[in-house]
Structures are given as structure tokens and as C-alpha cells.
Structure 1
């Protein structure tokens, strides 16, 4: 295997989707034997805008369409994480050492009936609304620091979701 320090980071976009009660959407990954919950996220295609990628991934992973969400904030800059050594060379066909992620906070304008995780490329086996403070505990350990950074970036907007 090549030196992981020479591998590039995979460009990625993520969405923190908040409902009217201030809870955050999390899905339980299909491809992990762990109790791994995460927010919708995925790769940015070459030439694709980060926010467009985030909205595309949201639709692909949750069935939620762009007309059911409203942008609240974009996190400043990118967040980076490295894969743990045991996953290097196994994830993403060994092409990446981790991800550099752009994050967007969206308000969910729909109802739970608008969420359908049984999509063409099903990524989640279950989903729920979670308290934002629980996110670092729910994510796989190697992404915990990243989730804490995302929470810190969006903290001024969380808990301030106006009632509808």
C-alpha cells in the first residue's frame, strides 16, 4: 500500500438538517456493523458546487427534495478528518486518506412523510431525529472531532429554530 500521507483528501459536502423542534436528522449506516449514525454527506463531483453536492446527497440519502429545505448557514471553511489506519486502503478503493468537508445547515420544511431512506443507493438502514448535543456520541469515533467542529460552527443557529 502506498504511504497514506501522500494520498489526497476526498472533497465532500454535508448537511445538518434541523426540524422545527431543533432536532437533527441522523441515519444509521448500512455498511457498518457498528451503531454508526451520521448526518447526510457525500462526495463532491468534479466541477460541482459544494452546496449543490450537499443538496444532491440529501436527496440521494433521505429522499428529501430541495423544496423541503431552507438554508440557514454555511460553515466557514472546510473540516478535515483522516481515516483510521485499519480503514486505509479499504474505503473508497484506497484512493483517499480521509475527507475535507464543507457543511451546510438547513431547516427542514417538510414532514416525516417526506423522508424516505429506501432510495436507489440506500445508505441508511434506519433514521431518527436527534438532539444536536448527542451527535458526537452517535458518530463513529474517528469522526467525533469533526462533528464537534461542525456543531461549534452552527451553535449560534441551533436551538434558535423558530416555531412554525
Structure 2
């Protein structure tokens, strides 16, 4: 489903551990890293899509995480011209995303990037919260900055709660 402006609805997932580090995943067969993300199907709410993508991409279910926050509105990015498929209709010029900040409740071993029949990632690691901003592909950088800035106070509170016991 692409909106009238050419943007595909999508969810982005920032998965944090109890130390406030975030899961950073390597795209399969590429030297490109990103947060898990994926499209919203016609019959799904953004939250339903987020849980489906979380399971498909990193093997986690709703019981493995706690929703700490979600961005208030849609954050948009445009695809570079070379990536736009002009022969598809409707033409998708970019993505509009709702971002979810999740806290991992399960052990690291619960993460499984190779359980689906078409995995998106072939590696992952925990990194400091702001590290992805300097590493993500340039056309996604501003959306990452906006989402992370909006959600960072919620993560700080969640980490403080974890450390308080």
C-alpha cells in the first residue's frame, strides 16, 4: 500500500537491552547495517506490523520485549533516484515510518536472524545508542536522527528502571 504522495507505510524498530545498547543488524550479503524495519500490510496496524517484523527479522515475539515508546507521527525519507522503480505502479518514492523503541526482556540467545525462509540479516551486535547515526546509509540518516532523538528520553527512563531493580 503506497499513499497518494508515493510513500510506503513502514515500521522501524529500535531494540534496546538493559544497558541501553541497541541491536544493530547487518543486511545479508552487504556491508550495510540498519535497525530492523518493514512494511505495513493492508490489514495490519503499525503495532501488529512491528511485532510481525520483529519476529520475521530477529526471531523475537511480544513476550520477549516491552514497548517503551513510539514516535508521535510518521517520519518520511525519500529513496535516491537510482533506487526508485519507475515502471511499478503506483511509484514508491520513499517510506513513511512509525518507530518503536523496545526493551528486550529475554536473553541475547533469543535473537535469531536466520530462522525465516528469507532472512534479511546475516549478523547483529549491540552498539551504543547513538552509534547508528554515523553508520546508517545517508538517505535514512535524518529519519534515524528524528526517531532516536524523540525516543531517547524514554530509553533513559527505562534503563534507570532496570538498574533500580
- Tell me the distance in 1 between the aligned counterparts of 2:105 and 2:72: 24
CA separation of 1:93 and 1:27: change in aligned 2, threshold 3 A: farther
Deviation at 1:158, TM superposition (A): 2.7
Q: State the secondary structure of the residue aligned to 1:113.
A: helix
Secondary structure, aligned partner of 2:43: coil
Shift of 1:10: 0.7
Write the deviation string for residues 134-161 of structure 1: whole angstroms up to 9, x where unpaired.
1111211110111001111102123331
> 1:93 offset after TM fit, Å?
8.8
Per the alignment, residue 61 of structure 1 pairs with 57
Q: Which residue of the partner structure matches residue 132 of structure 2?
A: 135
**Displacement after TM superposition at 1:112 (Å):** 1.0
SS at match of 1:158: helix
Instruction: Give 1:11-160 correspondences, 5 Å limit.
Output: 11-30=9-28, 33=30, 35-89=31-85, 95-120=91-116, 121-160=118-157
Q: 1:96 to 1:119 in 2, by over 3 A?
A: farther
Question: Runs of 4+ in structure 1 displaced over 4 angstroms?
Answer: none
TM-score by length of 1: 0.88
Q: Name structure 1 gaps, 5 residues minimum.
A: 1-5
The answer as to whether partners of 2:25 and 2:123 remain within 8 angstroms in 1 is yes
Confirm whether residue 9 of structure 1 aligns to residue 7 of structure 2. yes
Residue ranges of structure 2 left out of the alignment (5+ in a row) = none
Alignment TM-score, normalising by the size of structure 2: 0.87
* Residues 18, 25 of structure 1: 8 Å contact kept: yes
Show CA shifts across 1:22-57 (max 9, x none): 0011111116x3x32111110000021001101110
CA contact (8 A) 1:136 1:147 kept: yes
Q: What's the CA shift for 1:95? A: 3.8
